[in-house]
Amino acid sequence: MKSNHLVWRARRAACALAMTLLGGCSALLPPPPPPDNLYLLEAGLTQIPPSASIPNTRTAAPKRDLVLAVGMPRARAGFDTAQMIWVRHAHGLEVYSRNRWADTPARMLAPLLAQALERSGTFHAVVQSPSAVSAALRLDTEIIRLQQDFSVHPSRVQFTLNAQLIDIGTRRVIASAEFDETENTATEDAYGGVRAANLALERLLVRLAAFCAEHAP
């Protein structure tokens, strides 16, 4: 019995020593890094006017009895990522280490396009593709660039989007255009870039809605 008691005490002491050593090691480890800052690509859609007051249209566009499908936007190489892109030299892309988008800009852009076009009042309905609803037209878009340019001061965000309006029945491209918006940043950091990107996006959506209103059959 005495030997068993000694064995038990030895094991208990060994466990206590191990816990002490582990605690000492954990105290020497660096603290975990704080989580990344996540940002949304969004626009004040309530500021987008109906088609009758959209600038750059020839006349007040009547409402078409058409359904428009908005395809999932694509993105050029280097921009199909949730990382926030910035540049300081031509042909070179860099990323923020602690700041990123909540999703890829292309995926965040899809519902914003649909909401802006629905808000314009030009079409009978606007749906996101794929959809069970039969549509006559489809809008395909591609992000050419979305970057914060530090080669100038203040830095500026450059947002460029290519758009094609397609007749689904004939597979014919009705019209295509490239929209480019630039917005200076208020602060020289990631958050300044986010705010500038969303301001540029608001103007881009207004122009895109006007483009669809003008060229829809």
Instruction: State residue 50's pLDDT score.
Output: 46
- Is the pLDDT at 29 greater than 90? The verdict is no
pLDDT of 6 strictly over 60: no
Q: What is the pTM of this model?
A: 0.78
Q: Which residue has the tokens 């006349």?
A: 59
| Most distant pair of Cα atoms in the chain: their distance | 102
Supply the pLDDT for residue 24.
55
Please, what is the average pLDDT of the chain? 85
**Tens digits of residue pLDDT in 126-151:** 999 888 888 899 999 999 999 999 99
* pLDDT of the residue at 163: 98
Looking at the predicted structure, is the pLDDT value of residue 53 above 70? Answer: no
